Chain A
Amino acid sequence: DGGITQSPKYLFRKEGQNVTLSCEQNLNHDAMYWYRQDPGQGLRLIYYSQIVNDFQKGDIAEGYSVSREKKESFPLTVTSAQKNPTAFYLCASLSGTGYTGELFFGEGSRLTVL
């Protein structure tokens, strides 16, 4: 079955540690996204990538980094520079071209900083 796989689902981190969240898709989509969601809030864009080896900052990129070495993979690193990293992180890929298309999400990763 095609889809997006995020891991881990739950992650605990000590302050000052970097952590990498995995996102893999087998939908053959070019565009991939990372969002952050805080309780009772909408999704805020961290980074997005429209093609391999290229990515753009979203609205809240500070303290995060990404790579896009393969079409299928778009990992997100939460660095120690991110001041409030506890949140629900969602990875997505976009089907279609132009202005249409559906976002397909992974099941998310819940990061808690202890």
Chain B
Amino acid sequence: RKEVEQDPGPFNVPEGATVAFNCTYSNSASQSFFWYRQDCRKEPKLLMSVYSSGNEDGRFTAQLNRASQYISLLIRDSKLSDSATYLCVVTAPGSARQLTFGSGTQLTVLP
């Protein structure tokens, strides 16, 4: 089983739709969780950190479920500019400096 798993998609949704991605992690001792966004042929950039209580940033909501070992990202009112690959990132237990990436979920928002 991979340490961090994501549904690769692609998710093709119309503008204005709500879309959700899940990411599961295998090690229950994982400490920190993040969502990164990567545009085609570009470097990843931090979208948001994921906190235990859940957090929201505009149209984006991230949640953590430690019992089931997954994190989620919800995008409301999706825009064409949201089209990208979304990468789930988890810190390795015992080493705050080593992060494990999921393989990414590809989102295309259609006009």
Contact = CB atoms under 8 A, between A and B. Distances in A.
Interface residues of A, number: 26
Main SS at interface, chain B: strand
B87 A99 contact: no
Contact of A105 (B6, B44, B91): B44
Interface string B50-92: 0000000000000000000000000000000000000101010
A42 B101 contact: yes
Contacts of A35: 101
Q: How large is the interface on B (under 10, 10 to 19, 20 to 34, 35 or more residues)?
A: 20 to 34
Given A42-B104, A99-B32, A105 B96 contact: no
A33 B49 CA distance: 19
A4 B80 CA distance: 28
B111 to A, nearest CB: 24
Most buried by A among B96, B97, B104: B97
A48 B98 contact: yes
Interface in A81-112: 88, 90, 94, 97-103, 105-108
Interface of B: 4, 6, 8, 31-32, 34, 36, 41-46, 49, 87, 89, 91, 96-104
